[in-house]
Structure 1
Amino acid sequence: MTGFRLGTGGRIDRSRVLNFTFDGTRYSGHPGDTLASALIANGVRIMGRSFKYHRPRSVWSAWFDDPNAIFNIRLGDVHRPNCPAATTLLEDGMHARAVNSFPSAARDIKSVLDLGHRFLSAGFYYKMFMWPDWHLFEPTIRKMAGLGALEGGPLEDSHSTQRFDHCDLLVVGGGVAGLQAAATAAEAGQSVVLVDDHAELGGKAWQSPTVDGHPVADWIAEQTKRISAAGGRILTRTTAFGIYDHAMVGLCTEHGFCEQPSLTRMRPEKLIMATGALDRPLTFAQNDVPGVMSLDGAAEFAGRYGVAVGRRACVIADHGLAEQQISTLRDEGLDIDVVEPKDALPKAMGRRAVTGLQVGPHHFTCDTVLTSAGLMPIVHLWRHAGGKLDWDSNAQAFVPAAGPAWITAIGAAAGTFDLDDALAEATAVATGAARPRRKADYCARPRPAVLGTSQRQWIDFQHDVTLKDVELAARENYVSVEHLKRYTTLGMASDQGKTSNVAGLSAMAALQGKEIPEVGTTTFRPPFVPVPLELYRGHHRGELFHPLKRLCLEPQHRAADAAMGEYGGWLRPGWYGGGDADQAAAREVRMARTTAGIFDASPLGKIEVMGPDAEKFVNFIYYNTVATLKPGHIRYGFMLTESGAVYDDGVIARLDENRFVVSCSSSHVDGVVSLLENWRQDGNDPDRIFVHDTTQNWPTVTVTGPKARDIVATLNLGIDLSPEQFKHMQFRAGQFQGAPVRVARVSFTGDVSFEMSCPVAQAAALWGATIEAGAPMSAGAIGLEALSILRAEKGFLIIGKDTDGETMPHDLGFGIPRLKKKAAFVGDRGLQTQKANETNRRQLVGLAVPEGAAMLPCGAHLVSGSGETRRSVGFVTSSYDSPTLNRPIALALLSQGLATEGNAIDVYHLGEKRRARVVPTCQFDPEGERLNA
């Protein structure tokens, strides 16, 4: 036990005590502590075990770059796995256990694996378990894999608050440079958001007594006041974990261990990256022994948490800024020897804790070894955004180079390590001025790795990658950095290489006789730090994953005893009057064919496309020719995917020269809007085409059947409804009770139909008046079940039910446009491929069953051959008992060679074989006399 609590200092609240346990032993700390700082204050050194060899590990640093101390934590009923001890704020009552160890980190029985380290070198799993069969070893290896354990089953009730946000300037990092930039920009009138992952702002400033001549606490308070007074926002305990497409920055805000995190998708106009820098580890013998840690981490534990990491320390540091940190630690009472190894290979002494440092013939007695090979700018976000990196030979570190214009790095993140230089740089960047010249030089001279020794020198502390592993990879010709990473697992631990990547690159460079920039870097990917899984689980789950859309006429349907159900993402009436669904649907079909049926067609798409280029645009979108469509007329057509498959069908109405209304399937409205918007922005001038989804602005009441015209005539719409003046596939504008009404003569049933669309405020009145007008004629409301039968009798299809993802227009009997349409359209190339022209493509057909036979099962296979030669040649897509025809009807997709009218086909379903006959898809009024009446 070596660490202890300093008598003064730190940002903790010493007036309160928080109790917690670690591996079953009780300890105490204070508000403001992390689990790591509290354990160090209690003298605990071993906080974890490495992944492969189960060697004892202590913390390496004081924040997110620590790869060693990872805990499973329980507080009350809340359990969270894989919590980094250095970033988890202490709360009263926490029970923490080190991962990857049993029964405790201090006494892990799997530590015996270290005795066999000679046989467990890099890539051993690629070689050792291939014979006789990998699957013999796989179960055991998988049980040993992983770190923490998820307890309590799936996180069914866990979710995060998610929101979208925007600002002029996002400043990431609340250290000296970030605070100065945010305050300056806010006072200049910019909308500023400052985020920092600590609970208290200041960054590394707490390691120093003053900033810009002022006490640290006073200076930070003044900058915070400036930001808030100018309207800026400050988000603490918030990590910018990734930058994604279109300048979206992912922000994770922690609210407390038992509270769910929140996700903010921030889209700033500009971003200032003030993320700071990390300590680069030194590679030397036994450098993983508990008590070997970052010099910067030790200074942070002392300055921010009031904790000394040891009593007597040896420091090996290879840069000039280390003097200030050493001075801070000495002021806090640590006895420090500064060691200069020269050409000797240092070796940490001790097994479970540091007992000394051997440098050549010299032995230093100590309980802690603090190292720093230089400062490494934190450039992860820069790389997420597509920024490039340069190698600074003076600093021996990668620094931001060319990058997107909207993001700028300042302070230590830009390689500006002097405090005064960072302040000046922050002020200039925040005001748009030229970046000032640095006044102070920073120089780091990390010693190269000593190759070819028998001593184990650790590079990746969590994954147990040593210098010998890197040497082995080089001998086996893994010379690419990405190959080295995957072969040795270097940089693939939960810290994602923050401590190990540059050390690994240095070793690889030494082995190849190159400089580090010649070796290259691995890919930086979000998230920057591990984030809770709950962060990605928002409110869009369960019923909210794909919320049901509701009709404005739902109260009227419920009052009419409608059986409501989901149809295409909408809650719609299935049938009326209760009772059996089949009987109700049959009753409604007979009513619609005899007099008229009235149904709510509000979900049908009503997407307006307008502008000077609207005609050319819709002609490109549709498979059919739309350019010849006259105002006041309607045309049926298909929209295709780029591969030529049918995406949606529907009608398009032309209101005037530059204005169209696209009526698509109810379930495809959102998809069609996205499709239109994507093509609008691709190859078109978006200022000459405008797309507006008005589906829910225009509820639709449809009347269909022989008495439809008589019912609509009673509504006094101001429209001549005569067949001569208002023909099928025409469009008219009228009025209902002083409000505009759009009337379309289109039919999904094969009978005369009128689709009447009005503003939402008039929908209830229009529905009520239509129902009232139909009652004396024995007409009434019908639901979706009846409508499905009516359309199938006529052979009208439903996209996604009577088609699949490969169905093309010519499979449905619409082949002319692909042969004759001269203008380009979406999917035109796909329709000319070899696949599109195969002779065995499935065609839409009708099926009839022998007299007296039951209807065919929907989904049943159409087969040819028998026994072992039997194969599927199609399937039934729709099947109903037709009340109109008094017999079963069906639609199916059937291979082209068998789709000849009158051809007999076998139908196979769940072991039962049936027979059917190919008939036309339209089995009701094939001449269309009722439609044009």
Structure 2
Amino acid sequence: MKRLTTGGRINRDTPVTMCFDGRDLPGFEGDTLASALLAAGHKTVGRSFKYHRRRGVYSAGVEEPNAMVTLHEGAFREPNTRATCVEAQDGLVAASQNAWPNIHLDIGAVNNLLSPFFSAGFYYKTFIGPFSGTGFWMWCERFIRRASGMGRAVHLPDPDTYEKVTTTCDVLVIGGGAAGLSAALAAGRKGARVILAEQDTVLGGAILSDPVGGESDFWLKQIELELHTLPNIRILTRASVFGAYDSDTYGMVEHLSGCEGQPRQRYWQIHAPRAVMATGAIERPMVFGNNDLPGVMLAGAVRSYLNRFAVLAGQTALVATNNDSAYATAIDLASAGAGVTVVDTRTEVPQALREQAETAGIRVLRGHAVIAARGRKCVTSALVAPLDQNGQPLQLACDLIAASAGWSPNVHLWSQLYKTPEYRPESACFIPRALFEAHLQPAGLVTAPMEMAQIITDGFARGSEAAGPDGDAGTVPESFDGGPLWSGNFGPVWCAPGVKGKAFVDLQHDVKLSDIDQAHLEGYVSVEHLKRYTTTGMATDQGKLANVNALARMADLQEREIAEAGTTTFRPPFTPVTIGALVGQDHGAHVRPTRRTPIHDWHVAQGAALAEAGLWKRAWYYPQGDEDVGAAYRREAAHVRAHIGLVDVSTLGKIAVQGPDAATFLNRVYTNGWKSLRPGRIRYGVMLREDGIVLDDGATARLGEHEYFMTTTTANAAKILADFERRLQSDWRDLKVHVTSLTDQFAAMALAGPKSRALLQTLCPDVDLSPEALPNNSFVEATIAEHPVRLHRMSFSGELAYEIYTPSGHGQPVWQAIMTAGAPHRIIAYGTESMGTLRIEKGHVAGPELDGRTTMEDLGLAGLASSKKPFVGSVLRHRPLLQSEDRAQLVGLLVEGDEGARGGSLIFAKGAAPEGHGEGWVTSATYSPALGKYIAMAFVKNGQARLGEEVQIVNLLENQTSSARLISHHFFDPEGERQNG
């Protein structure tokens, strides 16, 4: 192995230094990690999955089974990455895997000596049997699972960023080779919106494996120039389309790691009514003894490393083939100075190829096959035998075996949509069936063409068809000499008779030829059963190299044709997809969208401690000094009762209810009546579910004759709107009503405390805020600091209070104006914790009491249920079980001691043993600064008739018991003098 001094498509002016297994690894811009490893002479780059055998670079693309590495370090570590697909970047850190202590001295290699015991299904036979029960298997499974896998993932949070994109186009072209470029050109010329997706870093596909400076390069340059001039074509490189789904949807991952200022990966969901699949083909391995030794490679890969990366993979090469295409590799190797021998299974080889080989000084052995590779750490020779068995095997010295058993078209995406491909015997491969109405049409190598002109013509035709009948695609680009492709005289598909040594069908999972034979002997006749029993095709390469060879061997053993044996099911993804790409930013704090109120930045600037309320970030409390939440909420609540406070309630659900039948609609969803509500007034209401259980509560203002402004609890805002929309679309289609969410359109704040009217009057001098002009449960339009507001006089705290609504863009200026004007009144901002304390003191119900189990009777709100009209839940609320006197009813608890109560604690009669579920439970608890005591709200069986009774509160989680007295849940100002004053 060596780097050539000239040639290749690498940028020799930009060297890079990487690190592999702790040692510097030189390379150039344009290299892959695999090409740099080969250029530096690294023959062994990893160890195999089961037997820990030495493995070297085998291919040059996504099909790579051996060169699996771990990239980066620490939290950025990424295991099981193909070195063949990793761009060489300065500072890149990579490490081999599945070996200890290192790949050159691996203790796990002892498994290779024990391989007779590790045949297909060995764990079932060894650990589960008549003499070993399930318990023994469960014990052994822990160690088996610990030994399984290859690379090791980290348990640290992923610091990389990811993005998701959803887009549409008229034509999606998958693959940037000759066929894909021709298809994109045709569709682009006809004016279609085209996305051209290529998984490599540059366009060209198989053209990049041709010698530099040839006519294929000129063709590629001309096509690229024209494509870049068409504004309707979007070219995406490093973009792998991994899945084809229903409704013309395709999944794609764009790899941007190392691109400055970009996320690591971008997940694309593409909706394209027409797509062209120009995904090319993958070369098949030949199966012979020790075909996994470092130095055994695919012939096409050897040619790629030579012509694209200027890496000569061997000085003495043996090209083992059964088809024409490998001769291009042999000729290019000879031109680079390597000694080359071609071992062709066929007795008849086209005369033109023989002549080219002779001219290049290549020895051709026809009718022969490699039956074994020889060497301890890498290939040193090959055992070659005549297929007619007339003659002795030859041992040929070599340091490289370039093998080609034909080509397997990448039919995966097509099969994901249209199921089983068809087998073409003359090309010895599976190709997509002809479905003329299919929205995804194959083109190019994936259809097994015989010459380059056919690839270009086919791609151009499919692109033109996908773009539709309108427009002019122009003429088909001229072809060029693409070298030998498929031919009609294939030799044996999978291997020659007389194989010696371990012959691997699936290199990554260490599935041997003998494992396929054993599965046949044990009665496995289905390809799906064969796959699962032997694990063939179940590794990260998903059988890209192994499947056809395994199927061919199975068919041969069953004396059937390959077409009869069929194929396994192709499922997405075609290439591995990271969880990060699929999840994007939807993890950690971003697992759901984070919602912030219009006043959020002010809270943060004031040092507020934030709490999550559903999707919202809300100000929990505003600490002073070293205050904890307990000290802060007590101070804030006491200050509001004595002076004035401002709290952000923008998270309340806000719904506009509009239309001639708006009042009728409200009459149906609320339990109380709404037709009598006058414009300018507000009414509190309760909603029920169909089963009579309380759903939500809130206040609704009548803005005009046919317009209402409804508020709901924060938690139920989306649920209520969805329920309204469903009813109007299906249940009450006759109502002329429209509902619109205004939650994000309005900022809301509550000003509470005995000084609130005086403060508002200074801010709104032109508005009469007297109790006579603006009584409780009414509103008025006003301005604050020239910003429009609507003042709702209503109270959640039990104090004289106003809710102030303003368009979101005015929220922070209005808030700041109130805080500035309130300084002489000793105004403070208070958070949700103290707001909860104020509402508990007043006895207002909230989320803990509206938990989906309570009725209006339980809550003491039965007086709000109208008997003069039907409403949602009006019938089922009268079920006997919901009217039972033994139901738990809302009461207050005056708690003794200095500990208080905890929500969820159980309530038992005084002196009773704390067994079972008790007689009730605590819903909300706090320390009341106004009362100087711990209080709580609770549901107790027949509680209203037991006021004054002593009970015990038992917290089983904290093993705490306290005493309390049942009282009314209206602890503070039960007559409402303060809020109505």
Query: Could you say whether these structures have the same fold, taking a TM-score greater than 0.5 normalized by the shorter chain as the test?
Result: yes
Residue 410 of structure 1 corresponds to 443
Over residues 479-534 of structure 1, what are the superposed CA-to-partner deviations in whole Å (9 max), with x where a residue is unaligned?
55555444433222222222223434444555666665666655555543345676
Residue 905 of structure 2 corresponds to 860
Question: How far 1:722 sits from its partner (Å)?
Answer: 7.9
**Contact 1:380/1:525 (<8 A) preserved:** yes
**Contact 1:183/1:224 (<8 A) preserved:** no
Residue 148 of structure 1 corresponds to 151
Query: Which of 302, 305, 310 is matched with 1:306 structurally?
Result: 310
SS in 1 for 2:432: strand
Tell me, in whole angstroms, the C-alpha distance in 2 between the residues paired with 1:751 and 1:12: 76
Residue 962 of structure 2 corresponds to 914
Letter in 1 for 2:60: A
Question: How far 1:461 sits from its partner (Å)?
Answer: 0.9
SS in 1 for 2:301: helix
Question: How far 1:879 sits from its partner (Å)?
Answer: 0.9
Letter in 1 for 2:110: V
Tell me, in whole angstroms, the C-alpha distance in 2 between the residues paired with 1:429 and 1:794: 73
**Contact 1:635/1:653 (<8 A) preserved:** no
Question: How far 1:727 sits from its partner (Å)?
Answer: 7.1
**Contact 2:368/2:384 (<8 A) preserved:** no
Residue 337 of structure 1 corresponds to 343
Question: How far 1:52 sits from its partner (Å)?
Answer: 0.7
Residue 357 of structure 1 corresponds to 384
**Contact 1:741/1:757 (<8 A) preserved:** yes
Q: Is the aligned partner of 1:218 residue 2:222? A: no
| 1:213-252 equivalent positions in 2, closer than 5 A | 215-231=215-231, 232-242=233-243, 247=249, 249-252=251-254
Residue 267 of structure 2 corresponds to 265
Most deviating of 885-894 and 569-578:
569-578
SS in 2 for 1:53: coil
> Taking structure 1 as reference, are residues 722 and 898 closer, same or farther at Cα in structure 2, changes over 3 Å only?
closer
**Contact 2:908/2:914 (<8 A) preserved:** no
Letter in 1 for 2:96: A
**Contact 2:914/2:954 (<8 A) preserved:** no
Tell me, in whole angstroms, the C-alpha distance in 1 between the residues paired with 2:529 and 2:878: 42
Q: TM-score, normalised by structure 2?
A: 0.76
> Taking structure 1 as reference, are residues 316 and 595 closer, same or farther at Cα in structure 2, changes over 3 Å only?
closer
Question: How far 1:684 sits from its partner (Å)?
Answer: 12
Question: How far 1:623 sits from its partner (Å)?
Answer: 8.2
| 1:597-676 equivalent positions in 2, closer than 5 A | 597-608=645-656, 632=679, 636-637=685-686, 650-651=698-699, 661-666=709-714
> Taking structure 1 as reference, are residues 107 and 848 closer, same or farther at Cα in structure 2, changes over 3 Å only?
closer
Residue 407 of structure 2 corresponds to 375
Residue 56 of structure 2 corresponds to 58
**Contact 1:49/1:56 (<8 A) preserved:** yes
Residue 420 of structure 1 corresponds to 453
Question: How far 1:691 sits from its partner (Å)?
Answer: 7.3
**Contact 1:882/1:888 (<8 A) preserved:** yes
Between Structure 1 and Structure 2, how many residues are aligned? Answer: 914
Tell me, in whole angstroms, the C-alpha distance in 2 between the residues paired with 1:191 and 1:388: 28
Residue 391 of structure 1 corresponds to 422
Question: How far 1:72 sits from its partner (Å)?
Answer: 3.8
**Contact 2:663/2:675 (<8 A) preserved:** no
SS in 2 for 1:86: helix
Letter in 1 for 2:204: G
| 1:152-551 equivalent positions in 2, closer than 5 A | 158-160=159-161, 162=163, 164=165, 166=167, 168=169, 169-208=171-210, 215-231=215-231, 232-242=233-243, 247=249, 249-256=251-258, 262-270=264-272, 271-310=275-314, 311-317=316-322, 334-340=340-346, 347-352=371-376, 353=379, 354-360=381-387, 361=389, 362=391, 363-366=393-396, 367=398, 368-382=400-414, 386-394=417-425, 395=427, 396-399=429-432, 407-413=440-446, 418-431=451-464, 432-433=467-468, 447=493, 456-473=502-519, 481-509=527-555, 521-522=567-568, 524-530=570-576
Q: Is the aligned partner of 1:119 residue 2:131? A: no
> Taking structure 1 as reference, are residues 497 and 656 closer, same or farther at Cα in structure 2, changes over 3 Å only?
farther
> Taking structure 1 as reference, are residues 766 and 144 closer, same or farther at Cα in structure 2, changes over 3 Å only?
closer
Letter in 1 for 2:430: A
Q: TM-score, normalised by structure 1?
A: 0.79
Question: How far 1:146 sits from its partner (Å)?
Answer: 2.7
Question: How far 1:194 sits from its partner (Å)?
Answer: 3.2
Tell me, in whole angstroms, the C-alpha distance in 1 between the residues paired with 2:826 and 2:41: 89
Question: How far 1:699 sits from its partner (Å)?
Answer: 2.2
> Taking structure 1 as reference, are residues 848 and 16 closer, same or farther at Cα in structure 2, changes over 3 Å only?
closer
Tell me, in whole angstroms, the C-alpha distance in 2 between the residues paired with 1:414 and 1:809: 70
Letter in 1 for 2:544: K
Aligned-CA RMSD value: 5.5
Query: Which of 919, 926, 929 is matched with 1:883 structurally?
Result: 929
**Contact 1:390/1:401 (<8 A) preserved:** no
**Contact 1:158/1:260 (<8 A) preserved:** no
Most deviating of 347-356 and 131-140:
131-140
SS in 1 for 2:202: coil
Letter in 2 for 1:529: T
Query: Which of 746, 749, 752 is matched with 2:797 structurally?
Result: 749
Tell me, in whole angstroms, the C-alpha distance in 2 between the residues paired with 1:676 and 1:401: 50
Task: Structure 1: give runs of 5+ residues left out of the alignment.
Answer: none
Residue 358 of structure 2 corresponds to none
Query: Which of 65, 76, 81 is matched with 1:67 structurally?
Result: 65
Letter in 1 for 2:711: S
> Taking structure 1 as reference, are residues 74 and 485 closer, same or farther at Cα in structure 2, changes over 3 Å only?
same
Question: How far 1:379 sits from its partner (Å)?
Answer: 3.6
Question: How far 1:322 sits from its partner (Å)?
Answer: 5.5
Question: How far 1:59 sits from its partner (Å)?
Answer: 3.0
> Taking structure 1 as reference, are residues 840 and 634 closer, same or farther at Cα in structure 2, changes over 3 Å only?
closer
Tell me, in whole angstroms, the C-alpha distance in 2 between the residues paired with 1:838 and 1:344: 92
**Contact 1:75/1:94 (<8 A) preserved:** no
Letter in 2 for 1:601: V
Letter in 2 for 1:458: F
Structure with bigger gyration radius: 2
Most deviating of 71-80 and 880-889:
71-80
Tell me, in whole angstroms, the C-alpha distance in 2 between the residues paired with 1:487 and 1:899: 68
Letter in 1 for 2:383: G
Tell me, in whole angstroms, the C-alpha distance in 2 between the residues paired with 1:282 and 1:618: 76
SS in 1 for 2:456: helix
> Taking structure 1 as reference, are residues 292 and 613 closer, same or farther at Cα in structure 2, changes over 3 Å only?
farther
Residue 136 of structure 2 corresponds to 133
> Taking structure 1 as reference, are residues 776 and 301 closer, same or farther at Cα in structure 2, changes over 3 Å only?
closer
Residue 848 of structure 1 corresponds to 893
> Taking structure 1 as reference, are residues 95 and 725 closer, same or farther at Cα in structure 2, changes over 3 Å only?
closer
Question: How far 1:463 sits from its partner (Å)?
Answer: 0.9
Over residues 654-711 of structure 1, what are the superposed CA-to-partner deviations in whole Å (9 max), with x where a residue is unaligned?
65687664534446667878888999999999xx998765445422232346776676
Query: Which of 698, 718, 721 is matched with 2:746 structurally?
Result: 698
> Taking structure 1 as reference, are residues 203 and 584 closer, same or farther at Cα in structure 2, changes over 3 Å only?
closer
Most deviating of 366-375 and 172-181:
366-375
SS in 1 for 2:224: helix
Most deviating of 513-522 and 413-422:
513-522
Over residues 409-447 of structure 1, what are the superposed CA-to-partner deviations in whole Å (9 max), with x where a residue is unaligned?
43234555643233223333333258999x999768664
Tell me, in whole angstroms, the C-alpha distance in 2 between the residues paired with 1:897 and 1:454: 87
Most deviating of 527-536 and 170-179:
527-536
SS in 2 for 1:63: coil
**Contact 1:595/1:777 (<8 A) preserved:** yes
